[in-house]
Chains A and B, each alone.
Chain A
Amino acid sequence: MGDERSISRRRAIAGGVGVVALGGSVAYLATRSDSDAGVYVPERSHTSQETTGFGVELAGRPIAGDPDAPVDLYYWTDYLCPFCAQFDQETLPAVGRNHVDTGEVRLVALSYPNIGEYSMPAAVWSRCVWSQVAADDPAAFWRWHASVFEAQPESGTDWADEETFTRITEETEGVPLGAVDDCRTSRTEEIRESMDPNVAVAQSSRIRGTPGFVLYNRETDTAGKLVGAHPYENFADAIEQVLNA
């Protein structure tokens, strides 16, 4: 009974070790470095003016892959979202090389600003960069896109501002900063309004966070959804399911 009522040194040490182990594990998981799979630059990119069978407007949006690919992968993202950075750096390269570059999937990058104050301006930057490079050097957009996610710090959203995005744009080969700035000055409102329909498509698909994905079989009009930075295997399985649907 004495054992039941007393606080023994052994249990106090065990409790202390447990608390330290929990704190240490959480700190390790929180700060472990990304398993960076490299920057993904699609072999082919293109533009389109169509609205897909799923209701996504493609005009002005970056599209990677074969225009006739049987499956569309709609990728809603926010440049301030750490989870999107994880997907971009760890999973997108494998999805791109194994499914987009092979002609199986067409990847459409869509904005879903929802994290911080600079989410919307960042989305406008993205559309303006694409508008300037889509015709002649679309790969420059994907380099810019990857550089923005690489610029995310360990924590917080304070990093995202005019200065940072100007620097990234200036440093990305093939992206004309002056023309991008002109686009931002003259087209910001128009671009903001044009985002609404595709965000509404995401919301009607019950996507409430970023990154959000819809896989859409363009021939059979069937779709599947993934939300969050799933491991590559889940994307591969989902693509196969939608492809065979």
Chain B
Amino acid sequence: MIFVIELLVSFFLVVGAFFALAGSIGSFRLPDFFSRLHGPTKSTTLGVGGMAIASAIYFSFHGEGISFHEVLITLFLFITAPVSAHFLAKAALHQRLHENKAALPPACEKETGPHE
């Protein structure tokens, strides 16, 4: 394989791995549930995105023809990641995990109902 291609693949792999690692470190270090939610959404965007680009470049020059699977992986991840994050946040709001942490906006207070 051409050296430049190898360099590009390595670069995108390292970038992807770095953002995935940073996302995990963030999830570990942050103090409360809602802040931790930010970790996983990061690793799916640039973390998996970088690795998908590396994989697309590698297989486009290694196999037969251009590889399009990575485009689909990225697309599906970008559609599903916000939905799962939204569900987690919604569930946490209704479980009242925010108590004693960040103040809740009034519209949200109305939504989750009065405290029992």
Do A and B bind? no
